[in-house]
Chains A and B, each alone.
Chain A
Amino acid sequence: MSEFLAMGGYAAFVWPCVGLSFAILAGLLLTARRRLRGVHRRIRHLNVAPDEGAWELRA
């Protein structure tokens, strides 16, 4: 196990790479889902007449 974690002496380069990759994947997934939920919430709270102003609301 310790041999695996040592990565042949390159642990200081390999593991940060692995951690950063999974952190970015998690961040991408969470922000995308949060954004979709946020848009749902914003639209639900907006009282807009149908078929008006489709291009006015900014992200």
Chain B
Amino acid sequence: MRLPNWLHKLASPPHFYRIAGRIEPWMLWSGLAAIAVGAFGGLLLAPPDYQQGDAYRIIYFHVPAAYLAMQLYALMAIGSAIGLVWRMKLAYAISAAAAPVGLAFTGLALATGMLWGKPMWGAYWSWGDARLTSVLVMFFLYLGYMLLHASLEERSTADRAAGILAVVGVVNLPIIKFSVEWWSSLHQGPTISRLAAPAITWDMLWPLLVMIVGAVLFSLAVTLTRARAEVLLRERGARWVRDVVAVGA
């Protein structure tokens, strides 16, 4: 199967480096603005929950982090799969760039989940809960990808080995998503994925949606910055890289 021409053009390292450098500041600043608005709305404007009181406000930080943890894993795995099948160096670079960002958001989702769990469930952690445990597995998959990648001397071997791990780990994503439906769980069910009938009122929902949009833009901006560094490292012998570095672009 052949890749479309536009994707080949985008996958050209100098083209990607230039395009990513142009859109990264827009993503970053609009993401930060959305996060500021969402945090303000979530912490100050949204009414308290009738059952959880103000503790539910952790949702405005926990849900975007958990959402991004899964989306960035999917990005890392898709990049690895494209690299494995079509040997596209840029796809590997994007996977390697997404991994630390995904690891940070997974850690944040776990930490904020624990801070929410203590007042609501009476415990920071429950090993019997499938959602918590499967997200922890994803944390170790991210960590495993990064350690494996860093431990192999030859970069192409590291890309392939870590890429296989990322692709195999995709099996964990549906387990995370459906764990609250498949097994009895302390974790609450879906809140906003049911867009036809969300489980929360609009006053509480809009700051959450704004936070998610902001966090997505922010994480893409950071991933693009890291991907640009990866591309430079991998292509550092090329003439275009020396030109770019010489002018400090």
Contacts and interface: CB of A to CB of B under 8 A. Distances in A.
Nearest to B111: A20
B134 interface: no
Given A35-B229, A36-B228, A59-B233, A20 B43 contact: no
Nearest to B219: A28
A28 B9 CA distance: 29
Interface residues of B, number: 53
B112 A10 contact: no
Majority secondary structure of chain A interface residues (helix, strand, loop or mixed): helix
Interface string A43-59: 11010111111111111
B44 A4 contact: yes
Interface in A14-45: 14, 16-18, 20-21, 24-25, 27-29, 31-33, 35-36, 38-40, 43-44
Interface of B: 28, 35, 39, 43-44, 48, 53-55, 57-58, 61-62, 65, 96, 100-101, 104-105, 107-108, 111-112, 115-116, 118-119, 150, 153-156, 218-219, 222, 225-226, 228-230, 232-239, 241-242, 245-246, 248
Contacts of B150: 59
Interface of A: 4, 7-10, 13-14, 16-18, 20-21, 24-25, 27-29, 31-33, 35-36, 38-40, 43-44, 46, 48-59
B234 A39 contact: no
A37 B7 CA distance: 27
A7 B236 contact: no
Nearest to B241: A43
